[in-house]
Structure 1
Amino acid sequence: MLWLVWVYLLNLQSGALGFGINPFSGDSFNHQTITERALLNVTAQVCRALALAEGKDFTFPAQPFTAKSIANACEAPKSYKFFLPNILFIQSMNAAVDLRRLFEARYHCDDELLREGQRLITEGLSAVKAANRKQSFLSARLTLGGILHTLQDFYSHSNWAELRNKFPNINMIRRNANIGNIADRTTATCRSCNGDDCRNNILENVISRNILTSGYFVVRPMSSNKPKGKCSHGGFPDATSSVEPKGGINKDSYSSSHGYLHREAAELAIAATSQILEDIRGASGDREFLQLMGLSKGSSKALCFVVDTTGSMGDDIAAVQTVTSNIIDSKVGTEDEPSLYILVPFNDPDFGPLIKTTDAEVFKGHINSLTAYEGGDLPEMSLSGLQLALTGSPPNSEIFLFTDAPAKDKYLKNTVIALIEQTKTVVNFMITGILSSRRRRQANENQQQQQTQRMARSDSQLYRDLSQASGGQAIEVSKNQLLQATSIITESTSSSLVTLLQVNRNMGRPENYTFSVDDTLTNLIIYITGSSVDFTLVNPSGELHNGASTGPSIITAELVGNLLTLRLRAQVGLWELRIISTNPYTMKVVGQSPIDFILRFMVQSQGPVDGYDLLENRPTAGSNTSLEVTLLEADSTTVTEVTLVESSGSGQVNGLVEAQGGGQYLVHFDKIPSVEFVVLVKGQSTNSTTSRASSVTFQRQSTTSLR
């Protein structure tokens, strides 16, 4: 669940842990702010270079830069919701070094292990470049965050700033390069100091001879093995600072032992971070660097088609070729143009290969070259094809799977769901003729038909479960309805789309749902999939609408196969949707809006540092867990409620919301549901565009179901 969960550390003591990892550390610089500044600065320079190469002007946004202002300046406003999470993730991996490797001096350039720190940085840098070449951007970001921590600590923990260096040590990012004259173990480097006297505690001969040193850091007094005459890190909880020579030399904050050089050390760390980012940029190229950051003038998402190529799909493949061509043409040149196209065919017993390209015309050529040929028995390797697509696609992709057969490889269901959770990829199933038994020999026609229909019901549910887990849909249509249905569902792939409400019911029964519409929402749509589903819609004015009388709030009502699409006139306020059905169904309310949120699960650190660490797997059912919610429109919105809602039921767990500032909220839950759930966020949105500011309620829901 690396894409869903992030480190974000609160209530931490700064002064012993690099620049500190508390994102709300007052005036002092911390690892998060240093990392963010460098990422934004270099990204802006990349966008400027690309603009100038295209003969365009580029205007830097006002300082201080933000993820949103840089995305806008780069003409990629819709990428903001991907750019910001990637920055947060790199910051998170940076901060995690203090939680997980607090006592390993080389990760912090402590104990004069500066060459060892250099080795960590350069080996990690090589790994980042290799991951970029493979387009494994998540792996690259994870490694990048860790090596940035070590690099930044060099300037806070060593005496580089005390030696009056005005520029970073470029050799810290060059493998086996000479980083300077490092003090040997027998060379004394410090004298005792106390308080303000620590300004001059580094020995004069160390300064005059340009000798590099760093402070020793140990938490437990009994384990202190600081060599005689060596500098200490200093501050809480460094036990060596009370051992002669007393004091310290760290510059982690303004209140640190050498806090008078805190700003200089932080500026050096920002410049050094920019250097390593420029090195990565030079190795990968400008556009690939922006992919690493999640910025694209089109969509940062990949568009992926997984296509059944068995004999009975002959007519479908022709329709798929038309459908995919229409989808591609509708997105080329727009803000929703995919950054990558992926094709995975599957048959029986074969599946693959996975084909990738960034060229829309080349991709259409691959699609048009697909041909149908006979498979084996009725079920096909649909989940194997889907698994290959999920492992080969970047996070937040869109997958359309076309088939007319049930899955032979049902055993992959849990694996596929885990990949969906990890990548936050939306999967839509376009199912044609699932009830058909025409590929089977009709030795016993009546018995065969009954068996096929029983199987069809269970396999339709399998596809529904997978689509629901991803926030997609399983649409069952006739072959001649495929183009119409796909055209409808393609609208739900816009990168500015938000989900207000989504439910899945395997046992149909009368049920009422409510959802709040705010004044930022446009293109409001309700999708309902299922057979024999009756609905009544009540708008905020109390007007009723149903299938027999759509009323003024419903612009259009369109039924294609098992998909009912209701396009609404967005009216601010609380809506109600009443559904009556004895069959399974799904319902989804979506719209376009800049208001959205990022979520990440955390766990209380078990180490000596008080804070929250990355939850690397699913949260434990029934246990208490914390969740951080970050709003994308923090200036005009406030979170008031966060709830974990069962995906296929009415159960829910309410969280205790604590505002942390900067659009971030820490939410505590007493227990996690034992079944699949989604995160529902409610709050207030302030509209200041009118003469008198007003506040309205908004709600947003996570798309991917969690377990």
Structure 2
Amino acid sequence: MKHLKLFIGYLIILVTLVERSLVSAFPPQSIPQESSTKSHSTINFYGIYLSAHQFLLRHNIVNGTGKPVSQVLDEFFGTDRDSQTNFYLNILKITDHQNIVQKELAGFAHYHVNGEQILTAHNYVRSLRKSLIDLAESGADIDILRERVGQCLYTLQQFYSNTNWVDLHGDTIIKEFGISATLPVSISNLSDEPCSDCPTDLTSLQSGLCKNNTRTTKLTSGYKSKQDVSKPPSNNQGIGKCSHGSQDDTSRLKSATGGIYKGRSSSAHAPHFYLHNEAFEAAKLATVYFLSDENDGLFSHLGIYLTKEVFQIKSKKENKEVKDYSITFVIDVTGSMSDNIAKVIQGAASFVDQIRQSKRIPEKYILVTFSDPVDLEKSRVTNDADEMINWINGLTVSGGGDCPEYSLSGLITGATLSNFNSTIYIYTDAPAKDESRETEVIEILQRKTITPKFRLRNECGSRRKREIGRYKRQSSVYDSIAQATGGDVERFSSSQDLADKVQEDLMSELSFIQSNSSQAISQNNLPSSISIIKWSSTNTNQLTNIEVDNSVDSMRIEINGTSNSSEIHLRNPNGSLVDSGAQDVSLQYSDYLIIFLIESPSKGLWTLENIVSNPLTINITANSSFDISSSLREISFEGFFYPLNGNPVSGEEYVIVVLLENLPANSSISSIVLVDEKGNAVTTTVANLLSVTPNLQYFAKTKIFKQIAGVQIHGQDSTSQQFIRSCKHTINPVDVTLKMKLFIGDLSLSNIEQLEYNITNHGGNNRSLTLDVSDDKGYIVDNRSIHFHISPGESENKLVFIRGTQQSTIVCHPLCDLLAT
């Protein structure tokens, strides 16, 4: 029997859907066949980029006197390419929140400012904006604030695509929309008929014969079929209410025929295509005003700190050095930890907060939570301390049932994700149920020189001593692991003692940082932008190719499985054997580990040969301005790409989108490759250009049948030298999905509301599952554990009923597919 867990946590957004129609505004992303069509992604990039520029100047963070916008941003980020990439990726995150509204709420006119729902849309944005500001003041999660920003900007931008404002006023903006109590414009009423007939055939549209179909100076918007507001019938021949007018809008065939949509530059899709650029300019300027106006802008309400966090206007240049080490917490979240979790949360969050203010901040923060059964284990990695703190503060406990837990599995995951020469802190009250993995744990900790710190609180504190005795031998596993790896084990009789130890660990960590800060990373002198070239596993006499292109300034080759450099042959493009005596080459050694640090490596194909009997694991990174990131997208029925929430379904087609930062001039891209955890290619697909500006993106359509560990992009530089760039990207296809529906609205106090969810078996076998539902507010009023028996291809819809009991409480469920494998 498999278990699905549904947790309704800090913030609830529920779902309602009507029949979907095609995109009715600016498209979600660039359209390769329509290079002149501007998307939400484009509007956001320019709008947020310009807003960040104004923010930096207004607060004297950068001197912008006489400098173009791009130079100001470049000076702010400097050589900190990682932070600059995070800034761009954050814009895409905000765009993803827009895309979700565009896709999931396509049938509701006011989200898109269709159907003359102008005042409704205006007040909706005002309400969202106020809730965003209130949430910011209450210390809400940063991701929630980003979500609200995306929702506000979506409808704000749609105003210029779907109304006749641009027809009347060009690329100017209405500053009051979504902000002020009233709009200083006249709006069409029910009896007005603001449009006249115009042709609907493609030839006429291409000839511009629908240019003069508006006949009013009042503000109006078009009706669109399949939405919740229907177009009223006309009372007079040849005139009537305006239609949206896209090709899927059947209301365009009724008087007044035609439409006023201008969200695309293609006459085949938008009757007012000739106004597309003006609509884009207005939407961009409105975005800048909404965010950064000195009096009304959102930035002024969020304040300097939150603005930096929400929009990732951050750089690591504050005299801090990014060190190649990690901070990892492995935390037991089973039910027996309920007496201890608050203290662990408090201590761990404080730990991270103070570490990020130290002289050397870690390259990444890692959080692993383990439970029972083992497949409930979760792991998360970030280089953003605030994101880590938010994850820690959001921890809750549930499940378990018996005393021992799968702690060693969690430790292995944490060690796998951790950097070399790092420390892992393990918090649990239970012995190890998976003690058989002791040797595996010791091997990986020794290989990566990782020190474990076990912090144990009254093993299964709520259990009877008689039961604890049954697992006394198992608890000694922690001592064995610590002894073999240089770690330590401490046990505590109270939660407060445990919390005090967390602070003691922090002081020890800070002391170590202080004493070693002068050394920092001088040995390899790698700045904060580290690009992954590739990773691989090799056997005896096997060659690994290392492609070094013109953008590589220095290279790090990490070889796990040997500490004897004579057991490997590293050769440069000239075929010469490389050792520590070579110019600009240094070696680092530890148990089962060799690291080559190579400054200014020769461009061309390097090779590394494994000449020993043991398999080796190789990780190759470079200091390079050129890097990539990837996202997995689902394909809508109209062919657009939307964010995939959760896991893909095995065998269905999806899209891998790769964002390229600073691709060297005159380079070409050939393929996108999905690789497994050993670096072996699983799928190789031709790379297709998605967009050039404002971001260079490529995409590939593919079906996924097995676990993927990363994405590579292959190509050639200006000298025809092959290059590879990789990024970590775990993809786990599933055959059972759990989906909940979307609704943006309020949970009325004391009223019972329903959350609808669907479970589907996409596989070829019968599945027996149990859905366990829990929440941290006590709002659920019905069955919390439901059993399913689902045949292949079948779906079942169920409801969870909740009732609010606290005023001004934000509730949410994750908008994602949960899975049973």
Provide TM-score, normalisation by structure 1.
Answer: 0.69
**C-alpha offsets along residues 675-701 of structure 1, whole Å, 9 cap, x if unaligned?**
342212221222xxxxxxx34222211
Q: Is the 8 A contact 1:513 1:578 kept in 2?
A: yes
AA in 2 matched with 1:72: D
1:433 and 1:628 mapped to 2: Cα distance? 34
- Alignment pair present for 1:172 and 2:177: yes
2:595 aligned with 1:565? yes
| Shift in Å, 1:561 | 3.8
Q: What is the CA distance between 1:36 and its match in structure 2?
A: 2.2
Distance in 2 (alpha carbons) for counterparts of 1:361 and 1:99: 41
One-letter amino acid of the counterpart of residue 591, structure 1: A
Please state whether the residue corresponding to 1:285 is helix, strand or coil.
helix
Report what 1:150 is aligned to: 155
**Shift of residue 427 of structure 1?**
3.2
Question: In structure 1, what is the equivalent of residue 232 of structure 2?
Answer: 226
The reply to whether residue 202 of structure 1 matches residue 193 of structure 2 is no
- Assess, with a 3 A threshold, how the Cα gap between structure 1 residues 42 and 413 changes in structure 2: closer, same or farther: farther
Residues 1:456 and 1:120: Cα distance change in structure 2 (over 3 Å): same
Q: Which residue of 2 aligns with 1:326?
A: none
Residue 212 of structure 1 aligns to a residue in which SS?
coil
Q: Quick check: 1:193 aligned with 2:195?
A: no
1:265 alignment counterpart? 279
- Distance (Å, rounded) in 2 between the aligned partners of 1:433 and 1:543: 40
Quick one: distance in 2 between partners of 1:602 and 1:457?
A: 39
Shift of the alpha carbon at 1:83? 1.7
Task: Please say if residues 664 and 717 of structure 2, whose CA atoms lie closer than 8 Å, have aligned partners that are also in contact.
Answer: no
Give the partner amino acid of 2:67.
F
CA deviation map 1:529-550 (0-9, x unaligned): 34566322222222235xxx65
For residues 418-449 of structure 1, give each alpha carbon's deviation from its aligned partner in whole angstroms, at most 9, with x where no partner exists: x99xxxx9633657899xxxxxxxxxxxxxxx
Is the CA contact 1:297–1:335 (under 8 Å) kept in the aligned structure 2?
no
Residues 652-695 of structure 1: CA deviation (Å, up to 9, x unaligned): 321122233413212233x4352342212221222xxxxxxx34
In structure 2, how many angstroms separate the alpha carbons of the residues matched to 1:72 and 1:88? 19
Residue of structure 2 equivalent to 1:457: 439
| Deviation sequence 1:96-115 (CA, Å, 0-9, x none) | 44333332211110011122
CA RMSD of aligned residues (A): 5.1
Q: 1:77-156 counterparts in 2 under 5 A?
A: 77-78=79-80, 79-129=83-133, 134=139, 136-156=141-161
Distance 2:446 2:709 in 1: 16
Please give the TM-score of this superposition, normalised by the length of structure 2.
Answer: 0.61
* Alignment of structure 1 residues 194-593 onto 2, 5 Å: 194=199, 196=208, 198-203=210-215, 206-207=216-217, 211-218=218-225, 225-228=231-234, 229-253=240-264, 255=267, 256-259=270-273, 261-278=275-292, 279-298=297-316, 333-334=319-320, 336=322, 350=340, 351-353=344-346, 354-356=348-350, 363=357, 393-394=385-386, 410=406, 427-428=418-419, 430=421, 456-460=438-442, 478=486, 494-503=527-536, 511-530=542-561, 534-545=567-578, 550=580, 552=582, 555-569=585-599, 570-579=601-610, 586-593=617-624
Match for residue 697 of structure 2? 664
1:415/1:599 Cα in 2 relative to 1: closer, same or farther (>3 Å)?
farther
CA deviation map 1:172-195 (0-9, x unaligned): 222754464433334333332335
Mean CA deviation greater in 511-520 or 591-600: 511-520
Contact 1:478 1:561 (C-alpha < 8 Å) held by counterparts: no
Instruction: Return the structure number with greater strand share.
Output: 2
| Alignment counterpart, residue 74 of structure 1, candidates 63, 73, 76 | 76
Cα distance change on mapping 1:361 and 1:682 into 2, 3 Å: closer
| Post-superposition offset of 1:466 | 12
1:604 touches 1:613 (CA, 8 Å); kept in 2? yes
Closer, same or farther in 2 for the Cα pair 1:270/1:457, shift >3 Å? Answer: same
Distance 2:437 2:42 in 1: 56
Is the partner of 1:168 in helix, strand or coil? coil
Q: 1:642 Cα shift?
A: 2.1
Change in CA separation of 1:342 and 1:192 when aligned onto 2, cut-off 3 Å: same
How far apart, CA to CA, are the structure 2 residues paired with 1:58 and 1:568?
40
**1:188 to 1:466, Cα distance in 2 relative to 1, 3 A:** farther
Note if contact 1:396-1:426 (Cα within 8 Å) is conserved in structure 2: no
Q: In structure 2, what is the Cα distance between the partners aligned to 1:172 and 1:632?
A: 35
Letter in 2 for 1:456: E
**Given residue 643 of structure 1, which amino acid in structure 2 is its aligned partner?**
V
Whole-angstrom CA distance in 1 between matches of 2:220 and 2:40? 21
- Evaluate the alpha carbon distance shift between residue 390 and residue 95 of structure 1 in structure 2; reply closer, same or farther with a 3 A threshold: closer
For residues 541 and 677 of structure 1, do their structure 2 counterparts lie closer, same or farther at Cα, with a shift above 3 Å needed? same
Residue 125 of structure 2 aligns with an amino acid whose one-letter code is: I
- 1:477–1:561 Cα contact (<8 Å) kept: no
User: What is the aligned partner in structure 2 of residue 675 from structure 1?
Assistant: 707
Query: What is the rounded CA distance, in whole Å, between the counterparts of 1:513 and 1:88 in structure 2?
Result: 35
SS in 2 for 1:215: coil
Partner residue, 2:742: none
Paired residue type of 2:727: S
Q: Which amino acid aligns with 1:614?
A: P
Q: 1:34 matched to which residue of 2?
A: 43
Q: CA deviation at 1:346?
A: 7.6
The one-letter code of the counterpart of 1:526 is: I
Q: Do the aligned partners of residues 672 and 345 (structure 1) sit closer, same or farther apart at CA in structure 2, a change above 3 Å counting?
A: closer
Distance 1:695 1:655 in 2: 20
Q: 1:201 to 1:130 in 2, by over 3 A?
A: same
Shift of 1:273: 1.1
Structure 1 portions without partners, runs of 5+? 1-13, 300-331, 368-382, 400-407, 435-450, 469-473, 687-693
Evaluate the alpha carbon distance shift between residue 493 and residue 123 of structure 1 in structure 2; reply closer, same or farther with a 3 A threshold: farther
Alignment length (residue pairs): 587
Q: Tell me the distance in 2 between the aligned counterparts of 1:495 and 1:645.
A: 25
Check the 8 A contact 1:544/1:551 in 2, yes or no. Answer: no
Q: Deviations over 1:11-62 (max 9, x none)?
A: xxx99722344524343444333322211211111112233x67x4544326
Indicate the residue corresponding to 2:726 in structure 1. 701
1:161 lines up with 2:173 in the alignment: no
The 2-side partners of 1:666 and 1:75 are apart by: 28
Instruction: Determine if contact 2:628/2:661 at 8 Å carries over to the other structure.
Output: yes
Q: Is 1:19–2:26 an aligned residue pair?
A: yes
> Structure 1's 392 and 20: CA in aligned 2 closer, same or farther, altered over 3 A?
closer
User: Is the alpha carbon distance of 1:526 and 1:164 closer, same or farther for their aligned partners in structure 2, counting shifts above 3 Å?
Assistant: closer
Q: Name which of 616, 619, 634 aligns with 2:648.
A: 619
Alignment check: 8 A CA contact 1:342 1:393 kept? no
Q: 2:660 aligns with which of 631, 637, 641?
A: 631
| 2:632 maps to amino acid | F
Tell me how far 1:138 sits from its aligned partner: 3.5
- Structure-2 residue corresponding to 1:404: none
C-alpha distance after superposition, 1:571-599 (max 9, x if no partner): 21112222356667542111200011121
Relative to structure 1, the CA distance from residue 556 to residue 620 in structure 2 (aligned partners, 3 Å threshold; closer, same or farther) is same
SS at match of 2:46: helix
The Cα of 1:415 is off from its aligned counterpart by 12
Counterpart code for 2:187: I
Q: Distance in 1 between matches of 2:87 and 2:152?
A: 20
Unaligned ranges ≥5, structure 2:
1-20, 200-204, 235-239, 362-374, 392-403, 426-432, 451-480, 489-511, 733-821
- Tell me which amino acid in the other structure corresponds to 1:410: Y
Rounded to whole Å, the distance in 1 between the matches of 2:249 and 2:378 is 52
Counterpart CA distance in 1 for 2:710 and 2:380 is 25
Per the alignment, in what secondary structure is the counterpart of residue 418 of structure 2?
strand
Cα pair 1:431 1:477 within 8 Å, conserved: no
Aligned counterparts of 1:247 and 1:386: Cα–Cα separation in 2: 52
